[in-house]
Amino acid sequence: MTDPGTTRDANEVSSDAPPVRVAVAIPCYNEAPAIPAVLAEYRAALPDAEIVVFDNNSTDGTRDLARALGARVECVTEQGKGFAVRAAFELLRDCDVLVLTDGDGTYPASEAHALIAAVASGADMAVGARRPVEGTRAMSLVRGTGNLLIKTAFRVIIGPGNNDLLSGYRDFGRRYRAQVRLRSEGFEIETELAAEAVARGLKVVELPVPYHPRIAGTVSKLSALRDGKRILLAILRHGLALRPRRLLALALLILACLMPPWNWLNGIVVLMAVLLLSSALVAEEHVRRAQR
């Protein structure tokens, strides 16, 4: 559940607090043109953090270049971003705050401080909500429209989550990483991260961050059609597990819309759908109040 009100305190952590151990995980697949700049930026912004590149079978020399630049590199042989994120959760479990960012240069390292501070102040997950830098075409119209459709599907099927559902810039505290066991293999990983926060009533803070174009020479690995389908299927799967009554109600409403209006079954189906959806929403509201 997103708590935008917490953002006003996210830039400050009590000076009396013990030092926060930070690790930065950078999943990479063929990001050689970008990785030198990304590593330099995060080292400058977070000089005390452990920075780890999770190379996912790159064929362009990404891992060798990262090693030559002095970075710790972990090779993830199972193909897919989800596997790389799962490896980061496992291998960096001893840190206080885990920063997850992409290796293409789209997320500025300077924004990591606010996200880290949000987690250090009590959030379980802090999400960098992307704000494309004006005039740079950082996000295409197709990608922006897809993000909106996916966010809408998530809200309808599962419930309110963080607004930028597919952001790759996230920080995680110990409680989130201790409670969540990730299963995603590909780009549906961000959907799972959001769904797990909703399912477990974890505290989420969302902060706006500038979103830049990819560094020249790199290309997006996400396919709008193939991965969009996988993400929507992941939303349905999580909806069935987390909100079965809501999903059943929606299915009944769709069925009712397909029936002839004079069919007597139509009224029964609509009534059942309304009752199921109402009970699901009431139950969710009780859960939200109990978590406050």
The model's pLDDT over 61-109, given as tens digits with 9 standing for 90+, comes to 999 999 999 999 999 999 999 999 999 999 999 999 999 999 999 999 9
Residues 72 and 123 in one domain: yes
Residues 68 and 213 in one domain: yes
Largest CA distance in the chain: 72
Last residue of a domain, one of 218, 241, 264: 241
Residues 236 and 274 in one domain: no
Residues 170 and 250 in one domain: no
First-to-final CA distance of the chain: 11
Residues 66 and 125 in one domain: yes
Residue 3 has a pLDDT of 53
Residues 159 and 78 in one domain: yes
Residues 104 and 204 in one domain: yes
In angstroms, rounded to a whole number, what is the distance separating the alpha carbons of residues 8 and 115?
A: 12
pLDDT digits (tens, 9 = 90+) for 241-278: 777 777 676 666 666 666 666 565 656 656 665 655 55
Residues 236 and 98 in one domain: yes
Q: Are 203 and 123 in contact (CB under 8 A)?
A: yes
pLDDT digits (tens, 9 = 90+) for 15-48: 555 689 999 999 999 999 999 999 999 999 999 9
Q: Give the single-character DSSP code of 52.
A: E
Residues 114 and 235 in one domain: yes
pLDDT digits (tens, 9 = 90+) for 101-125: 999 999 999 999 999 999 999 999 9
Domains contained in the chain, number: 2
For the full predicted model, state whether its pTM sits above 0.75. yes
pLDDT digits (tens, 9 = 90+) for 219-247: 888 777 788 888 888 888 888 777 777 76
Residues 159 and 250 in one domain: no
Residue 172 has a pLDDT of 98
In angstroms, rounded to a whole number, what is the distance separating the alpha carbons of residues 154 and 132?
A: 22
Q: Is the pLDDT of residue 8 over 60?
A: no
Residue 261 has a pLDDT of 62
Residues 158 and 67 in one domain: yes
CATH number at residue 38: 3.90.550.10
Residues 116 and 261 in one domain: no
Q: The domain containing residue 272 runs over which residues?
A: 244-291
Report the candidate in 37, 164, 50 with the shortest Cα–Cα distance to residue 105: 37
Last residue of a domain, one of 206, 222, 241: 241
